């Protein structure tokens, strides 16, 4: 497992050897995923389907001992209740990797750490196809609500286009399809088409479900 603050040995191989290493490619893609979330100050780790961490960012590393990596690079929570919820969520996600459903659960705080919400979700199909060993994304947010999610986060997590992320963000703010179309200077049919794509990528069917899913808390 590698943090983005470290350079694994496999990445230091001579070009002729490194080019032949699928492990190197997997690590680089996982590194890119947690790097995006690091820019948003979100603790994150990319996991295999079996729950072994293949990459984490400094924000995740800073969560210890509330959340840390144990033997075989597996996620460990200080709170037994959070550990049980994580184990259940990972088992559910592993059984349904084709789903983009977010599995969230509470992580209680302690004397020095604030409570958080953990989010576990399968990586988009394209990421899993390119990087077979990377199957799940685990990231954490605080419990302070915000009005709308960061559009960069929506692009990174749900593989939305920039235009789709803007539409999704406006929906969370309570704007109607007509108002969104007017604000962006496009036809209502264009926004509805983007909304249909958002449904498919987020695993939702109704606007209310999108709002419930995407109205995520502030980053830690």
Domain that holds residue 42: 2-145
Rg of the Cα atoms in the chain? 18
Question: How many Cα atoms are found within 13 Å in the side-chain-facing hemisphere of 218?
Answer: 7
Question: How far apart, in whole angstroms, are the C-alpha atoms of residue 155 and residue 166?
Answer: 10
Residue 20 has what pLDDT?
A: 42
159-168: average pLDDT: 93
pLDDT tens-place string over residues 196-215:
999 988 888 888 888 877 76
User: 146: pLDDT confidence band, cut at 50, 70 and 90?
Assistant: low
Judge if 211 and 109 occupy the same domain.
Answer: no
> Quick check: 26 and 131 in contact, CB under 8 A?
yes
Determine the distance from the C-alpha atom of residue 42 to the mean position of all C-alpha atoms in its chain, rounded to a whole number.
9
- Residue 47 forms beta bridges with which residues? 53, 136
Judge if 55 and 161 occupy the same domain.
Answer: no
Nearest Cα to 145, choosing from 63, 218, 92, 91? 218
**What does pTM read for this prediction?**
0.61
Backbone phi, then psi, for 67, in 5-degree steps?
-135, 135
Structurally, how many domains does the chain consist of?
2
The domain boundary, picked from 81, 110, 145, lies at: 145
Residue carrying the six token digits 């007017």:
182
């Amino acid at each position: 497992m590698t943090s983005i603050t470290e350079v694994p040995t496999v990445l230091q191989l001579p070009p002729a050897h490194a080019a032949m290493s699928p492990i190197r490619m997997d690590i680089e893609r996982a590194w890119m995923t947690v790097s995006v979330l690091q820019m948003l100050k979100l603790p994150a780790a990319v996991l295999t389907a079996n729950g072994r961490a293949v990459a984490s960012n400094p924000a995740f590393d800073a969560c210890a001992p509330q959340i840390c990596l144990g033997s075989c690079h597996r996620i460990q929570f200080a709170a037994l209740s959070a550990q049980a919820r994580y184990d259940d969520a990972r088992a559910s996600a592993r059984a349904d990797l084709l789903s983009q459903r977010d599995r969230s659960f509470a992580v209680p705080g302690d004397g020095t750490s604030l409570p958080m919400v953990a989010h576990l979700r399968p990586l988009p199909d394209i990421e899993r196809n390119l990087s077979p060993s990377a199957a799940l994304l685990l990231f954490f947010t605080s419990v302070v609500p915000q009005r709308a999610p960061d559009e960069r986060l929506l692009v990174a997590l749900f593989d939305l286009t920039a235009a789709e992320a803007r539409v999704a963000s406006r929906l969370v703010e309570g704007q109607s399809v007509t108002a969104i179309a007017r604000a962006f200077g496009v036809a209502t049919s264009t926004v509805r088409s983007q909304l249909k794509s958002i449904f498919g990528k987020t695993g939702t069917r109704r606007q209310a479900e999108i709002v419930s899913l995407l109205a995520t808390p502030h980053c830690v």
